Structure 1
């Protein structure tokens, strides 16, 4: 399902010209329904394959009522327990609290709490389109989160039950952002949800999400691309493991944090012709280059959180709550503002354990 700011389809407009039920036109819900006879085969008609799904839109002010309205337009009812993905459009997420938008989903005892929730930069309904015959966009979105072991630019999936926990906590958090263009989709950065309002206030771009993953230490894989200072040539470090430790320090009324980041990986690409990976001096230089890049990513992300949006979406407050609970009780009600003024120091250590088979010993 996709939720957007109201924008009636031509079909809805024609229906409403004949008869319209009492409602305010606030939200357009788009429902992606599988076409079973097409999804289970490769039916070809007129030389082109049919879509394995149909998207139907309803506009109104009650998500539950809009869902029931579909029963007036099709022969079978919607099976709520099969809902895989909910995409919420940027304009809607900036206007209404997520608590209101997902309230019906959380109350419905048929909808599975494992349902994935995403934000769309642009109209959410565009994320439910595909140019590939036989493909079901909702399944594609649900499957893409499994690629987190290959990149630091995919957030751990946010399910409905996790979203409810985030909303109830009152703390700011992130949702994976989806871009749509010409029937294609891409995960690109994350939407920032303000804890006090549960409304979207902005985005972290892909590099900033990169930096946030290093802060949290929740990455399962990915790359660090840097350039040799002397030659300007490309060097790529592939992450095999990462861990991060956020350490709060309290002195009187002053709070600060140290972020300790460690990673092991491999030299996966090297354009420095004079660089021999079998030489310790070269490997040391690559490590330092990659560490510098990670520090840059982390510093930019923290600056975005503290200076532009004034929110903590990296878990600094949670570490303060765990390790200094009395201090947390004193600052938690206005934590985002307090966090925006807190000093943060970074310590990054990367270790190259593998450099492939390319190199020669002189």
Structure 2
């Protein structure tokens, strides 16, 4: 018995030592000093019809020195650097890019994907395949169409953020304009209508040498190719239909007044109600919104119930006007269902949808759209009557 216990001790000791050695560290670890951390990825088509891949890489020396903002422009070293390469495919360009970057390219912290207008017009299906199939790029990255070559956007050094990629990410998080992640783009291109919309981003310059980024409108895609663009007003209309309004500003000029009243949309919900009767396909867009008055340049007293009722009617007309602008361009001109109509009909009437899905572009343009909006002004603001006017000039009607 004693001999057996001694043997067990001799067996346990080497096993314990081996386990301690394994716990001492990771045998396949990659040190952060060996990585080129990508925060922005850009895709563009060259004149030779090849793919130009550009990346924005964090400058490790700037991270170590604790710089922030655009201090890189002050001669102490930039916070990020831009590298680019050309290839037959996206991954071919990436492989060539790795040949000249001394650290391993790492896109696990990627913020944004920029796609140039030129590439968008040619088609993005193959490049979406790379983003979906290759495991490294983040599916939570935001996607934009750029007015110009993406590499130029990565050269912009913003005032408030550490990089132009971070600026684009912050703009997307604010939800002021359209905001689309890679995974959402994959879902849009895989749904029944195969159509999608992406926000457009531009470079905005200010004298003498200050540049920033601005989200301006949206690009509309049919079957993977950009077929048109929407301005800000039409884009907001699309967002109302798609239930993507989180916070918005609406300005109205009451009848008989020279000034304006500004309202902040605090809460908005949209519901799509499809209906099929015979050959008639109808979509009812039901909108409910709660607004607060934040600015009053008129003579109206916002505590008067009749005044509030008239203003609520005007706000409803404003929302409906933006929706009609969007419908005219998206439904009638482009015939691209980026509104989710096809998905709604498919969910409620799968058999009838099956019969028209191959010809949905044409059927979509024939769908009758009814808009039912209900806007409620919840609060008139801190001041009920215009503070800049004498009391005898305030309109009480």
TM range, smaller chain: 0.7 to 0.9
**C-alpha separation in 2, matches of 1:127 and 1:350:** 39
Structure 1 position 46, deviation (Å): 10
Provide the secondary structure at the position in 2 that maps to 1:173: strand
Provide the residue aligned with 1:313 in structure 2: 338
Provide the residue aligned with 1:341 in structure 2: 366
Provide the residue aligned with 2:232 in structure 1: 206
Q: 2:86 aligned with 1:63, yes or no? A: no
Provide the secondary structure at the position in 1 that maps to 2:215: strand
Whether the aligned pair in 1 keeps the contact of 2:274 and 2:348 (CA below 8 Å) is yes
Whether the aligned pair in 2 keeps the contact of 1:263 and 1:350 (CA below 8 Å) is yes
**C-alpha separation in 1, matches of 2:72 and 2:228:** 44
Q: 2:26 aligned with 1:4, yes or no? A: no
Moved more, 202-211 or 136-145: 136-145
List runs of 5+ in structure 2 lacking aligned partners: 1-40, 206-210, 386-390
- Per-residue CA distance 1:277-324 (angstroms, 9 max, x = gap): 111111112111111111111111111112211111111121111122
- Per-residue CA distance 1:121-157 (angstroms, 9 max, x = gap): 2222232232336721112212221112xx3xx22x4
Structure 1 position 103, deviation (Å): 2.1
**C-alpha separation in 2, matches of 1:331 and 1:212:** 23
Structure 1 position 203, deviation (Å): 1.1
Larger radius of gyration: 2
Q: 2:355 aligned with 1:330, yes or no? A: yes
Question: Structure 1 residues 217 and 165 mapped into 2: Cα distance closer, same or farther (>3 Å)?
Answer: closer
Structure 1 position 71, deviation (Å): 2.8
List runs of 5+ in structure 1 lacking aligned partners: 8-23
- Per-residue CA distance 1:87-127 (angstroms, 9 max, x = gap): 1001111012x220232222222223222222112222232
Q: TM-score scaled to structure 1, two decimals?
A: 0.87
Q: TM-score scaled to structure 2, two decimals?
A: 0.79
Provide the residue aligned with 1:286 in structure 2: 311
Whether the aligned pair in 2 keeps the contact of 1:6 and 1:60 (CA below 8 Å) is no
Q: 2:86 aligned with 1:38, yes or no? A: no
The aligned length equals 337
Provide the secondary structure at the position in 1 that maps to 2:94: helix
Cα RMSD of the aligned pairs, angstroms, is 2.2
Structure 1 position 56, deviation (Å): 1.0
Whether the aligned pair in 1 keeps the contact of 2:158 and 2:212 (CA below 8 Å) is no
